[in-house]
A and B are shown apart, each in its own frame.
Chain A
Amino acid sequence: MRKLVKNKAMLAGCVIILFFVLVAATADLFAPYDPAALGTAYQPPSAEHILGTNDLGQDIFSEMLYGARVSLFLGVFSALIVTLVGSVLALIAGYYGGVADRIICAVTDIAMAVPSLPLTLLLIAYLKSGVFSLVLAISITAWTGTARILRSRVRQICQLPYIKIEKTLGVSTPVILFKHVLPNLKDILLTRMALSVSGAMMTESGLSFLGLGTYGQKSWGNILHFAFFRNSILRGQVWWYLPPIICICVAVMGFMLVGYYGQQKKD
């Protein structure tokens, strides 16, 4: 019974992710307009513009398709960095223990204690605006959870007889880490990775909504930002503010479902 549930959750998550990835990959094929092209502003949905137009007369449907690219890229790329940094630190801390472990734990604790939103905001304010500064700003505080969870798991694994036997056989440290420790982390890595993507996407949309996102490149958060600051809610322009909200929610849920599967398998 439980197996079925987790498989269903996993399947649903994968379908959602795959859908958005396809959308992002094929945006230029299916987008009816160039999302930057100007036209008649504030048009409600029609046959010409499926989701109407925004304040500059840009086609919202095309914006949404291209926005998927930026949003997904930001989420996945940040998650990759977060997972990479987290697992490298976790492997070092968990395998070597001692001083290395104490230093890494201390750094993690400090990074965890720093309020993440102000730090992110500050970084963005100082960095050149662009996708990569956004990725940096998102990842800089997000790696702590991954590092901490992975570290305790690595520590557990390193206490197991099979790792000790590898050591006495004289297997080199990199081989132990990459062949014997890392593969046994794959469930937890998948979980953390998926949850990091959804976390990063949330942060990104939050930042973009505040106007601190990617100028020039349209992400879903960015669309929402303009919808909100052009009073689309007061004007009742549902077609403008609802699509980005729905897309963000569904995509985040997709990654969370995949993470949920990994978490269940761990038990």
Chain B
Amino acid sequence: MNDAILEAVGLTKRFRSREEGKKRFTAVDGASLRLYPGETLGLLGESGSGKSTLGQMLVGLLRPDEGQILYRGAPLAYPYKGEARRRIQILFQHPEVSFNPQLTLRQSLTEPFRLRGLACDDGALAACIGRFGLYPEHLNRRPGALSGGELQRAALARVLVMEPEIILLDEPTSMLDVITQAQIVDFLRRYQEENGTAYLFITHSTSLAEQFCHRIVRIAEGRLQVEGSV
């Protein structure tokens, strides 16, 4: 097997507890996992199990209290910089708040192009969203005027401009209807076949994880449990 593209060793995150009595509570407790290129790893857990916290540590949105994250074998420091920052991206559960409500879709989509120093004309933007069944007239709308399915597709299109090697999928389809869900899963699969992208798929749905993931890791109360293949 190839070398892991992303490896977590003993990640731990504690938060100040809201409940009285306990001072701190451990959201993620010594989580270690490996993500290989071209695979989909399912992170399956109930709400409050720490799966989103673990995910956010892996993409560099939260600083781990303990443990280390390795990208291509080299340790990553928080906050991520350079190549690692570009190659590790995230897609969230709530498409309606995945875009700045003040900006049009065009303005939001221009941002990743600019960050990568790519030419960003109407043609590039149209091609970027075109493969997700969105049209140039969508570009002038603000997020409020687009449906959840449309926004999630646009959010995916936006993230893919960065040509990520790793995408953290934080329940990206749980707010969508089943047909849109199937379409997005299908697109992700085809994209993975072409580009060898690795996905870390966070979900609470066993049936969806079994369909989509190559391997599944269960998480409960902040601890990873089984690592096995489907």
Query: By the criterion CB–CB under 8 Å, are B90 and A160 in contact?
Result: no
Query: By the criterion CB–CB under 8 Å, are B88 and A168 in contact?
Result: yes
B57-100: which residues lie under 8 A (CB-CB) from chain A? 59-61, 79-80, 85-86, 88-90, 92-94, 97-100
Query: By the criterion CB–CB under 8 Å, are B115 and A161 in contact?
Result: no
A162-210: which residues lie under 8 A (CB-CB) from chain B? 162, 164-171, 179-180, 183-184
B25 to chain A, nearest CB (A): 18
Query: By the criterion CB–CB under 8 Å, are B100 and A162 in contact?
Result: yes
A121-179: which residues lie under 8 A (CB-CB) from chain B? 160-162, 164-171, 179
Q: Which residue, B80, B98, B100, B101, has most C-beta atoms of chain A within 10 A?
A: B100
Query: By the criterion CB–CB under 8 Å, are B102 and A169 in contact?
Result: no
- In the complex, A171 Cα to B90 Cα: how many Å? 14
Query: By the criterion CB–CB under 8 Å, are B61 and A167 in contact?
Result: yes
Q: B111 within 8 Å of A by Cβ?
A: yes
- In the complex, A179 Cα to B68 Cα: how many Å? 32
Given contacts A180-B100, A184-B100, A184-B101, contact A168 B89 (CB under 8 A): yes
4 A-B pairs besides A164-B56, A165-B90 with CB distance below 8 A are: A161-B93, A168-B85, A180-B100, A184-B101
Q: B112 within 8 Å of A by Cβ?
A: yes
Given contacts A162-B99, A162-B100, A180-B100, contact A169 B94 (CB under 8 A): no
Query: By the criterion CB–CB under 8 Å, are B98 and A161 in contact?
Result: yes
Q: B134 within 8 Å of A by Cβ?
A: no
Name the CB-closest residue of B to A159. B97
Query: By the criterion CB–CB under 8 Å, are A171 and B97 in contact?
Result: no
Report chain B residues within 8 Å CB of A184: 100-102
Chain B residues within 8 Å of A, Cβ to Cβ: 56, 59-61, 79-80, 85-86, 88-90, 92-94, 97-102, 111-112, 115, 155, 158-159, 162
Which of A171, A179, A180 sits near B115, CB closer than 8 Å? Answer: A171
Which of A168, A180, A183 sits near B90, CB closer than 8 Å? Answer: A168
* A-side interface residues, number (CB < 8 Å): 15
Chain A residues within 8 Å of B, Cβ to Cβ: 160-162, 164-171, 179-180, 183-184
Report chain B residues within 8 Å CB of A161: 92-94, 97-98
Query: By the criterion CB–CB under 8 Å, are A162 and B61 in contact?
Result: no
Query: By the criterion CB–CB under 8 Å, are B101 and A165 in contact?
Result: no
Name the CB-closest residue of B to A170. B85
Query: By the criterion CB–CB under 8 Å, are A168 and B59 in contact?
Result: yes
Report chain A residues within 8 Å CB of B112: 169
Given contacts A180-B100, A184-B102, contact A164 B115 (CB under 8 A): no
B83 to chain A, nearest CB (A): 10
Can you identify 30 A-B contacts, CB atoms within 8 angstroms? A160-B97, A161-B92, A161-B97, A161-B98, A162-B97, A162-B98, A162-B100, A164-B56, A164-B61, A164-B90, A165-B92, A165-B98, A166-B100, A167-B61, A167-B79, A168-B61, A168-B85, A168-B90, A169-B89, A169-B112, A170-B80, A170-B85, A170-B115, A170-B162, A179-B100, A183-B100, A183-B102, A184-B100, A184-B101, A184-B102
Query: By the criterion CB–CB under 8 Å, are A169 and B97 in contact?
Result: no
Report chain A residues within 8 Å CB of B92: 161, 164-165
Query: By the criterion CB–CB under 8 Å, are A168 and B60 in contact?
Result: yes
